[in-house]
Chain A
């Protein structure tokens, strides 16, 4: 394992399987009367969120607290960041307070990578979503959900997703979830197909380790899991597709389409779902939809990542460089 988690592409198969296996153990903590482990006692984790994302922040916060870390939440809104303070200054200020890890969400692609590689700070960096680049813990929790459902909770231990056929549908172009999933699922041996209108597929996709199709109906019967990505309504205004109605007719998952999927196949959604757009309420509320499970699994995955990145490190000393001046 590397010291940071920036991109799903940085994970080897063994790294990824170790995270999934560790997450299975973490998941069992949730079944106990006391859902807390002392593992990160005395370690400080800051959730540095430059973009609003209550879901992801709460999930990380739950994971950090279950591992007994001290948690600092920092949201850009109303802080000095909105007054023009830079990412670098903010990160250095936080590190001066003795932070062991920074969980960062940022609107600019590559911001976590810069934070981890520019020598600004020493803390471990965990990418909680950057621009349209990566969202590695989302991909890990998706893979975890797939392995549980398609391979089995116990049978899955030590296993990858070899030979599983995963279809991602929706706004690939603007999706960090898609990029992370393509990288991780490929590493785990799955066969990935992207389905989207051509306007929402990036130029350069041909170098990705996956297939691309514009026809959802033809891929459904060959899918073990279908993951729907959120499509923002604003995209319509930029002419990515004509109308909501046309989008959902061509690329939305409804009951009829779900019936074409193999019986064991699952429907996934990273949330928040736009019902009536990419998914109908009927599908969203069916047993085959794992959206709620994915949320629960997110906490286990984030606990596993935090444990594996921080469990073995020396705790951070409060930075002396500010005091030397």
Chain B
């Protein structure tokens, strides 16, 4: 197999070094490595990170191929520097059987842009009533370890308890979409000053926080681990911090958009800002950044949610919720965390690669950049500055809240097990 020499890359943001890839493995990391027989990539001071891992992606296939497919979604992932994504279960049909998860898993492997690890539904049809065959999905070729009804909350306390208990048998984890359904009936945006003015139905912070509080206590009671999807409020941070201090096995994710955007943007009534959980306040944004920095929030996950144009080109109430995120996530993290001095690049590698791989048990991902490790790597031009242009997205959908916004950083190369999926910003 071929050799690739990445010359002069700041590994995890450190001093420039050379990295030699041989086949699917990192052969050597050091200074002045021989380029003999190797294709040379001049990193020229760019930052080299382990391939990013997204624990929360919607690939839409099967069922909504008009908004995204496994192919377009994994191409978007490679463009954004990802080498593994976890595909959410809310497809049509729902990924609640071994058959559906195996299909998604296989498509990811065939296309080869990015490993796709399917997430299985917790309950049949995401209906919150009856446990899906969690064990069968785990034992399938897809080897599912993460289960989630994302999009819907597992709101029945007994079902949630049973799921937490049941997955202990094979080291699984339940990822909860924390949203108390009764408190969020008709909810359109964060409940607060802006919703009061705009006359849009409120999605109160307490609807998220009450579920998280319940679930960490359930996890403690049954001695299981629980993962909180897209945590969005300052209050949720406090609860997770408290739970961790008690030794509860809880992990939590935050999306890039919740690190940057606030509900003030909803004043435009432009549905690109419509997302679930909704954009919150400045105070929440600052608390989330701080929590990601201190480790209370473990990871960044995109909640990449593609929607066709017509589902956003309409009045707010009729619009779909969600934003695409795979191709802008790292830039948003650079802006909100690195440039703000809250996280260095080693920290970014931890929150966007090592830790999500660990939570999802993604084999071969999130490993150190050192000899003998799988060559899953991402090279980032951190000096780059440019406006986000959705026309250049690899994703089939364009529903980004960042159109025209200047963001730093650009992924130039991505390698999946030594094979380039992105070269000079272009998909291989």
Contact = CB atoms under 8 A, between A and B. Distances in A.
Interface of A: 86-88, 106-111, 113-114, 117-118, 130-134, 176, 179, 202-208
Contacts, number: 78
B201 to A, nearest CB: 8
Contacts of B316: 108-111, 114
Contact of A108 (B191, B310, B318): B318
B194 A111 contact: no
A140 to B, nearest CB: 18
A202 B269 contact: no
Contacts of A88: 313-314
Contacts of B383: none
Given A110-B200, A131-B200, 7 more contacts: A87-B315, A88-B313, A108-B316, A109-B188, A130-B199, A204-B191, A204-B197
B196 A203 contact: yes
Contacts of A110: 198-200, 269, 315-317
A204 B315 contact: no
Nearest to B313: A88
Given A110-B200, A179-B197, A203-B202, A87 B314 contact: yes
Contacts of B197: 179, 204, 207-208
27 contacts: A86-B310, A86-B313, A87-B315, A106-B315, A108-B317, A109-B198, A109-B200, A109-B269, A110-B199, A110-B200, A110-B269, A110-B315, A111-B316, A111-B317, A132-B200, A133-B199, A133-B200, A176-B199, A179-B197, A202-B195, A202-B196, A202-B202, A203-B191, A203-B196, A203-B202, A204-B193, A207-B193
Given A110-B269, A204-B191, A204-B194, A86 B314 contact: yes
Contacts of B200: 109-110, 131-133
Interface in B255-291: 268-270
B45 interface: no
B198 A133 contact: yes
Given A86-B310, A132-B199, A179-B197, A109 B317 contact: yes
A207 B202 CA distance: 16
B179 to A, nearest CB: 17
Interface string B149-160: 000000000000
A179 B200 CA distance: 12
B404 interface: no
Contacts of A208: 196-197
Nearest to B271: A114
Contact of B269 (A86, A114, A176, A203): A114
